[in-house]
Amino acid sequence: MELFTKTLFLCLALALLMEHLREHHDAAVDDASLPDRCDGIGFDAITPDEQGTTFFFRGSHLWEGFHGPAQLSNGSFQELDDIGHVDAAFRMHNIEHRDDHDHIYFFLGDKVFSYYAHHLEEGYPKEIQQDFPGVPSHLDAAVECPKGECMTDSVLFFKGQDVHVYDIVTKTVKTKTWSHLPVCTSALRWLEHYYCFHGNNFTKFHPVSGEVSGVYPKDARSYFMKCPNYGHGGHYKAKVTSSQAPSTCVWTPGQVVEGGDQRGGCCLFLRDNIYLIKDDQVYIYKAAAHYTLIEGYPKTLKEELGIEGHVDAAFVCPDNHTVHIIIGGTIRAVDLSATPRAVTREMPLPFSDIDAALCSAEGVNVFKGATYYHYESPMTLAMSRIAPEPLNVTRAMMGCEE
């Protein structure tokens, strides 16, 4: 799913979720002696663990997830106390070999350390050449690249402006030079996108061609961490006008959303999972595992929900297992507790070209342009034949101010 760089504003459908997450994380650094990533520092390495939690490393410290203060690295990875710092790190993607899959590899000098469940594996550290023949020492960054995103299950190793593409099956290396990219001090794969970190900035790139599309670099503090006065993570308030309507939502790492194409797709939070619908594809991410894509996804709308067509909006009401999907001038109900999934009810609506919809304890709001329609329940919406008086979308509803 393509990320966009238009005006930032909050996604209404996930506002309650993000408030819940913020309540469980403290962005303040309690000990003045600890490094603060909001000071604009760079990272030595970034990698998720086998549970999907992303770790940011700097010297002898790390940050767990996108919020919270620095910690000593040896608190999460005990033997790192002897290493001091790491040059690069990545999580292995090798589903054909479960003994390697989801293991974390740390690199320092000419040594490699393999961890699983945060414990150093027997026999490590080893020389890099023992596990990764042809890969140079003193690396700058590393990131996994599964088959389908790269030609084969691979690892991208960065050293200077050279990228060493390591095929984990054949154990062969192809070297490319991407002189258009900054020298990456760390790299991260997030929601099938690839990011080169350099200083406190990052640049998104294509893992096969190295192509950079869009305006980069960007400040990591606005996207990958919660910092005061930066992006959605701190106390930043987007400047919007009353003519703007809620956008469909597109996840960005660690934060809420970037404003996107209103016809691009929709998203909803259900049973600790994030459902993203883009064109005719459904992506499901584990919220508890820091939004890791569930294996086997994406699937088509037909496979997942038993429907076809362009989805304009989708919503689920609290404590309910029915997803309501608006397509053109109709609303369809799909029972998510049933197998196989199928439409249980289809009703016409008194309007079409909907931009978004949100259900809460107060009822259902259906957004169209700069206005919205309020209904007491999904049934009231489905049974309505005349649209109620439209209401204006307010800045307060969007969590924004001038």
| CA-based nearest residue to 252, from 187, 294, 190 | 190
Residue 224 has pLDDT above 70, yes or no: yes
Domains of the chain: 26-222 (2.110.10.10), 265-392 (2.110.10.10)
Residue 100, amino acid: D
Distance between CA atoms of residues 285 and 292, nearest Å: 5
Strand partners, 276: 267, 283
Percent of the chain with pLDDT over 90: 41
Given pLDDT bands bounded at 50, 70 and 90, which one contains residue 81?
A: low
Q: Please check the confidence at residue 324 and state whether its pLDDT lies above 80.
A: yes
Supply the pTM of this predicted model.
0.61
Which band of pLDDT confidence, cut at 50, 70 and 90, is reported for residue 67?
Answer: confident
**For 259-281, what is the mean pLDDT?**
65
pLDDT of residue 22: 39
In the chain, DSSP finds a helix count (H) and a strand count (E) of: 5, 30
Dist CA 88 CA 68 (whole Å): 22
pLDDT at 64 over 60: yes
